[in-house]
A and B are shown apart, each in its own frame.
Chain A
Amino acid sequence: GENVEQHPSTLSVQEGDSAVIKCTYSDSASNYFPWYKQELGKRPQLIIDIRSNVGEKKDQRIAVTLNKTAKHFSLHITETQPEDSAVYFCAASGPSSYKLIFGSGTRLLVRP
């Protein structure tokens, strides 16, 4: 089955700097890759997703890139703000799978 690895597990950046979180997946058939943000004690919220027919997607300060050949995808947050501090999860799903498999999460701390 699908396995998703995520790193780093923790990331601390200065406000205004960029943050990058990387994930790799094992199943080459996977074609849907969402990213979730979870604040303390809250539910994970979808912030951006990408499908395998595109290599990059942007939404304001957030972007995701996908390298199908290498089977990895990354979340990029530019001009980080303290409210970006949270745990971020990547996930992957295949075309014939009902399951969304998550990475282990990255705790991002943005220092004011």
Chain B
Amino acid sequence: SQTIHQWPATLVQPVGSPLSLECTVEGTSNPNLYWYRQAAGRGLQLLFYSVGIGQISSEVPQNLSASRPQDRQFILSSKKLLLSDSGFYLCAWREGIATNEKLFFGSGTQLSVL
């Protein structure tokens, strides 16, 4: 069966520091991968998605970036964090062979920028 791993679970970072969040999926090949952000008490905002290695689509201009160095690995990065980057970051995956299949979320990273 497929599983998705996301780490770390919580992270406290000072303003201006770098960020790297990692997500890996097991049990599937060529998945579509996604990064969502959820501000406190708010909805799910799509940040990036990827349909293949090295292919990144950005939905929201910001100081975050994403990379997909391997088929089942998705990384969210920042060179300098802002206070507004605080939130709950969720990685998610979907089967890559069809665009209308179920989306599964990782356990999330609670990021606090102080």
Contacts and interface: CB of A to CB of B under 8 A. Distances in A.
Nearest to A31: B100
Interface residues of A, number: 26
Contact of B43 (A45, A51, A93, A105): A105
Interface string B72-96: 0000000000000000001000100
A74 to B, nearest CB: 18
A50 B57 CA distance: 26
B102 A89 contact: no
Interface residues of B, number: 23
Contact of B104 (A31, A42, A46, A89): A46
A43 B107 contact: yes
28 contacts: A34-B103, A42-B107, A42-B108, A43-B90, A43-B105, A43-B106, A43-B108, A44-B44, A44-B90, A44-B105, A45-B105, A46-B102, A46-B103, A46-B104, A89-B44, A93-B100, A95-B99, A95-B100, A98-B51, A98-B94, A98-B99, A99-B59, A100-B34, A100-B103, A101-B46, A102-B44, A104-B43, A105-B43
Nearest to B110: A41
Contacts of B59: 99
